[in-house]
Amino acid sequence: MSVFHLEVVTPERTVLDTEVEAVLLPAKGGLLGIWANHAPVIAALEIGVVQYGPKNGTKERLAVSGGFTEMDGQTLRIFANTAETADEIDVMRAKQAKERAERRLTDQQEDWDFQRTQVALQKAVARLRAAGE
């Protein structure tokens, strides 16, 4: 199988720097699959889960909260606002954040920012999915 280089960086750090056979990204407008020698592409990313690893095997996961990606044929670079590998995710904290956001979305009396709460919920769900929950 052909491999290519995958780099995931945030403003704070390099999260991942590895060789992979396939990557599935949460791009604006839908999922984007990348394999070795993919045509050059630049795409905006949504909040979601990036899956990476062997083409036909179990994939590793990481949660991203938006950003963009660039593929030049041999290297896929993901420039994420935030990114966490499955091992880095505090599952209990993510569950609490999800529950808090869900409560706010159903509570019509509370003064809250609807859009900010929706984003918080999306991030918590992505973190839980990346952690395998």
Interatomic CA distance for residues 66 and 45, integer angstroms: 5
Residue type, 25: L
- Asked whether 86 and 61 are in contact (CB, 8 A), the reply is yes
Domains 4-86 and 90-130 share a fold: no
For the chain, what are the domain ranges?
4-86, 90-130
Q: Which CATH architecture has domain 4-86?
A: Sandwich (2.60)
- Tell me the pTM: 0.85
pLDDT score for 57: 86
Cα 73 → chain centroid: 21
Strands 30-35 and 60-71: unpaired
Q: Which CATH architecture has domain 90-130?
A: Up-down Bundle (1.20)
pLDDT in tens, 2-59: 999 999 999 999 999 999 999 999 999 899 999 988 999 999 999 999 999 988 888 9
